[in-house]
Structure 1
Amino acid sequence: MSPPRGCSPRGQRCSGHVPYGHWKTTTFLCALRTQGLIAPLVLDGPINGSAFRAGVEQALAPTLGVGDIVIMDNLSSHKVAGVREAIEARGAE
């Protein structure tokens, strides 16, 4: 967002204004069924193991039933202790 060149008197530094970024990470976590999205969760910041486990226990697990299948990739926060147990406690796999 900064200009690539500018003008200033010879021998003086060319100063310019560059806006500062306020970079924030927002994480959206949800489950997908054939009927649509369920258990949406929005976090301020990146996902970590404890936040993912809390999301599974408090938002996803109550919507699961016997025979449901949960698919996750190999993200390290998906492998935290307690996630598999919360899913299997509802009869899902």
Structure 2
Amino acid sequence: MNGSAFLAYAEQVLAPELHPGDIVVMDNLPAHKISGVREAIEKLGARLLFLPPYSPDFNPIEMAFSKLKALLRKAATRTIDELWSVVANCLAAFTAEECRHYFEAAGDDPE
């Protein structure tokens, strides 16, 4: 993802969902740090925090990616069409409770 695409996402998708006091936590992807992203978040009264560099343990998505990659390796698909089908099936294997545990393990309360 490039910076202009992420800025468009931040302004058009993320910002309309934010409320004063919300906290947005991002990793250190260069696209997250381009001019305008912080402003789009903070003008609504939300805060932007960046994870420390090289801190996948604080990022709940990294735990989900780890499980997803293991499931994909186990499926051992050989074609793009098979891959799309397997990805859809793998994503269905994630329960809301499991995802809540990912946040808790990263030190966040999802409530």
Q: Give TM-score, length-normalised by structure 2.
A: 0.42
Does residue 1:69 correspond to 2:23, yes or no? Answer: yes
The structure 1 segments of at least 4 consecutive aligned residues displaced by more than 6 Å after TM superposition are none
Greater share of residues in strand: 1
Give deviations 1:22-63, integer Å, cap 9, x for gaps: xxxxxxxxxxxxxxxxxxxxxxxxx10000000000000010
Does residue 1:86 correspond to 2:21, yes or no? Answer: no
Greater share of residues in helix: 2
Structure 1 segments unaligned to the other structure (5+ residues)? 1-46
Structure with higher Rg: it is 1
Q: Which amino acid aligns with 1:88?
A: E
The equivalent residue for 1:50 is 4
CA RMSD of aligned residues (A): 0.3
How many positions carry a matched residue from both structures?
A: 47
Q: Percent identity?
A: 66
